[in-house]
Structure 1
Amino acid sequence: MSYVTPPYPVLEPLPVIQQHDQLPFGTVNLGQCLDNTSGRDKLFTLVTHKNHLSVLTSYHAGPHDQYYCKQYDFPLKTLSWFPKALDEFRKPPAEGGLHAGAMVSVDVDVDGEMLAVGSTTSGYCLTNRSRNDHSYDDYKAEEYYMPIEISLSYDFLYRLGFLDLWKSLGEKYERGEL
């Protein structure tokens, strides 16, 4: 039984993508960026999947160098929404930003899914409260609920260029090129 009650209706999960380099038919790779800031190379792959944005993180770990691929699902419009929301989140209170010490933005409806931007110890997170983490796909949201949340470090976003990639894809989305 979950100790967290979903604040919004939870949508059906998208099909899970098992490997970033073996995409299902109709899924399109939009771009990739390698995060090597944590001592482990983790590849972030942005794909369109069932008319949504899926962010895939893939890496190898463990004594047998096992392959892992984790999937974070958002509305496709998140491509243009997230960079703007992150800019707003980072504004100081004097410039219209959140109050001092705020750790998370208000939830915003982005194409029918409730998203938020928050702070982490080393960067920011993007949360989708309308979808359950894929770890709980076999359960009803009333039984086990954990919103989809991806953490992105400052270095990865700004120094390694992931935010620039995200912004360029957001511009393509706005122009109707995706």
Structure 2
Amino acid sequence: MTNSYFSPLITIENPDKTPENIKLVARLNDSLNYEDETYSFFTQENYLSIVHHWIATPKNKPSFLTTDQFDAPLEILPWFVDKLEFFRKPSSQGGLPPQKIATDKELVGGENIILGRLMNAGNARQEGGYDICNLDRGDHNEMSSSYARIKFSDSLLFEGGLLDVWKELASKYKNGSL
């Protein structure tokens, strides 16, 4: 079975050298978990591209830049801030229902998005985190047939400044200054 996705956005192969029509709007180093890993936020017209990038250094081979890219409509900026607040509320106060670890898919800027809780966000401490999935966009990795997704550890989100960056971008989006 082949998944049918929207046309891909431009793949950002080098976050320091992007085409003119792609604008860097924020960059955050994950110094709490991996000093050499960075998340760069770009706009591509009415879309947000988040590129997670780092230098891979294989044993006995030359180092190289590796990237993961997540794309979604810009409306995801305020949606994520609001949805994270909903996600973290107790169900008794109108939050996520008991026994659920992900939201239902929601149409955000015309694309189906899910926010999920992760038991292991992939850092060395194997701490929890969150995962955003865009069911209408394919992964930029040519070897993958999966949908686009990006994950963040709790420490990066709440202690490392990612939520602050996200809130600032959401505010700029809402007031038209992004």
Deviation sequence 1:104-124 (CA, Å, 0-9, x none): 101110110001110111111
> Match for 1:124 among 130, 144, 147?
130
Residue 19 of structure 1: CA displacement? 0.5
TM-score normalised by structure 1 residue count: 0.87
Of residues 47-56 and 61-70 in structure 1, the stretch that sits farther from structure 2 once superposed is 61-70
Residue 40 of structure 1: CA displacement? 5.1
Taking only aligned residues, the RMSD between alpha carbons, in angstroms, comes to 1.7
Residue 169 of structure 1: CA displacement? 0.7
Name structure 1 gaps, 5 residues minimum.
138-143
> Match for 2:52 among 50, 57, 76?
57
**Contact kept? 1:105, 1:117, Cα under 8 Å:** yes
Aligned to 2:156: 156
Aligned to 1:78: 76
> Partners in 2 of 1:52 and 1:91 — Cα distance?
28
Matches within 5 A, 1:15-164: 15-39=10-34, 41-63=36-58, 64-121=62-119, 122-136=128-142, 145-164=145-164
Residue 65 of structure 1: CA displacement? 2.4
Identity %: 31
Residue 77 of structure 1: CA displacement? 1.1
Q: Secondary structure at the match of 2:171?
A: helix
> Partners in 2 of 1:32 and 1:135 — Cα distance?
22
Residue 24 of structure 1: CA displacement? 0.9
Residue 69 of structure 1: CA displacement? 1.9
Residue 148 of structure 1: CA displacement? 0.8
Instruction: Name which structure has the greater RCO, CA cutoff 8 Å, separation 6+.
Output: 1
> Partners in 2 of 1:166 and 1:98 — Cα distance?
21
Deviation sequence 1:55-86 (CA, Å, 0-9, x none): 01110112332211221101011111111111
TM-score normalised by structure 2 residue count: 0.87
> Partners in 2 of 1:105 and 1:51 — Cα distance?
24
**Contact kept? 1:14, 1:50, Cα under 8 Å:** no
1:167 partner amino acid: K
Number of aligned positions between the proteins: 167
Name structure 2 gaps, 5 residues minimum.
120-127
1:44 partner amino acid: Y
Q: Which runs of 4+ in 1 moved over 2 A?
A: 36-41, 62-65
> Partners in 2 of 1:23 and 1:51 — Cα distance?
17
